[in-house]
Amino acid sequence: MEAAPRERELTGEKAQRIIDAMRASVAERGIAGSTFEHVAGEAGVSRGLLHYYFGTKERLLVEVVRRDTDIRLARLDEPLTGAKSVDDVLDALVASLQETLDNEPEYFLILFELFTALRRAPDIEREIAEMTNRTREHVAQLLRQKEQEGILQLRYDAESVVDYLFATADGFAFTVLTNPRRDPAATLAVATAAARYLLSDQ
State whether 105 and 124 are in the same domain.
yes
| Nearest Cα to Cα of residue 139 among 159, 154, 155, 169 | 159
Residue 21 shares a structural domain with residue 112: no
**Are 80 and 134 within one domain?**
yes
Torsion sign, CA atoms 125, 63, 133, 87: negative
Residue ranges making up the domain that contains 33:
1-55
Q: How many domains does the chain have?
A: 2
Residues 23 and 109 in one domain: no
pLDDT band at residue 8 using 50, 70 and 90 as cut-offs: low
What CATH code is carried by the domain that includes residue 71? 1.10.357.10
Q: Are residues 133 and 194 in the same domain?
A: yes
pLDDT band at 127 (very low <50, low <70, confident <90, very high): confident
pTM: 0.82
- The domain that contains 31 carries what CATH number? 1.10.10.60
Q: What is the pLDDT of residues 128-177, one digit of tens each?
A: 888 889 999 999 999 999 999 999 999 999 999 999 999 999 999 999 99
> In this structure, what are the phi and psi dihedrals at residue 184, rounded to the nearest 5 degrees?
-85, 0
Half-sphere exposure at residue 77, Cβ-oriented, CA atoms within 13 angstroms: 10
